[in-house]
Structure 1
Amino acid sequence: MNINIVETDAQLKEAYHVRMTVFVKEQNVSPEEELDEHDKTATHLVGYENDQAIAASRLRFVEGYGKLERICILKEHRGKAFGSQMIAAMEDIILSKGYKKAKLNAQTQALPFYERLGYKTISGEFMDAGIPHVTMVKDL
């Protein structure tokens, strides 16, 4: 998979399409919750396989952390390590900006995935967009 930092409106549209497919259509998150005020200032990433957008995420810098958000892979492309590649690309950007810590709010069903990548849970379970989550952190 080729991962690009979004630089054009066309790339951003592709990233939003992947997010809407995964979060709104598949997981029933409302479009108003999925696309929020943070999208205007976040760094967006989009992953391509054979020139097709199949993965997306966004990254923000909050309270000394690089905050990984909206990480998603189209259903038919899961299980091929694309999620790990997306996380690694985001962590590289965090380090390049001089930050040493990453943070994310993980859906509880994805806990084993993030734990394998070195993330540790630091919160109790909470609901976000009707889906159970926990906050996780990692020293980079």
Structure 2
Amino acid sequence: MKIALADTDAARQACFDIRRAVFIEEQQIPEAEEWDADDATCLHYLAGDGAGTARVIPRGDTAKIGRVAVMKAHRGTGLGARIMQTLMEDAKARGFTAAELESQVYAIAFYERLGFVAEGPDYDDGSGILHRLMRAKL
């Protein structure tokens, strides 16, 4: 399955549709917490025609990865790891030297397998779900 930069309006809309299904509908995250100003300027990535998504926000030499979501029908297939590997390879090629993300606590082990290290205490990011900051060198 192809994972690529969502560089058209239709591809970005597919990313938003995945986030709505996974975060707002499935995880019951308040809609006001899901959408932010970074959506207009970050790099959105799309897997297939709507199987998964993630975004990268440039923060100096760090790529802040977020909104990693895989549709139910594609979970357990390795797609989430492939999305992350694609983002990290692309971030490195763009000159970023580090990546960070705010992992939902249940997903920490997933990101650790990709080279991320958890830092600091758990916190609620406003969604009602506990998160922890994680970082990796690229």
Range class of TM-score, shorter chain: over 0.9
**TM-score relative to the length of structure 1:** 0.94
* 1:95 equivalent in structure 2: 92
Match of 1:70 among 67, 82, 95: 67
Superimposed CA distance per residue, residues 11-48 of structure 1 (whole angstroms, 9 cap, x where no aligned partner): 11111000000000000111121111110000000101
User: Any unmatched runs of 5+ in structure 2?
Assistant: none
**TM-score relative to the length of structure 2:** 0.96
- Secondary structure of the residue aligned to 2:96 is coil
Match of 2:109 among 103, 112, 130: 112
Deviation >6 Å, runs of 4+: none
Q: CA shift at 1:64, angstroms? A: 2.6
Q: C-alpha separation between the residues in 2 aligned to 1:63 and 1:6?
A: 22
Q: Percent identity?
A: 30
* 2:124 equivalent in structure 1: 127
Q: CA RMSD in A?
A: 0.9
* 1:138 equivalent in structure 2: 136
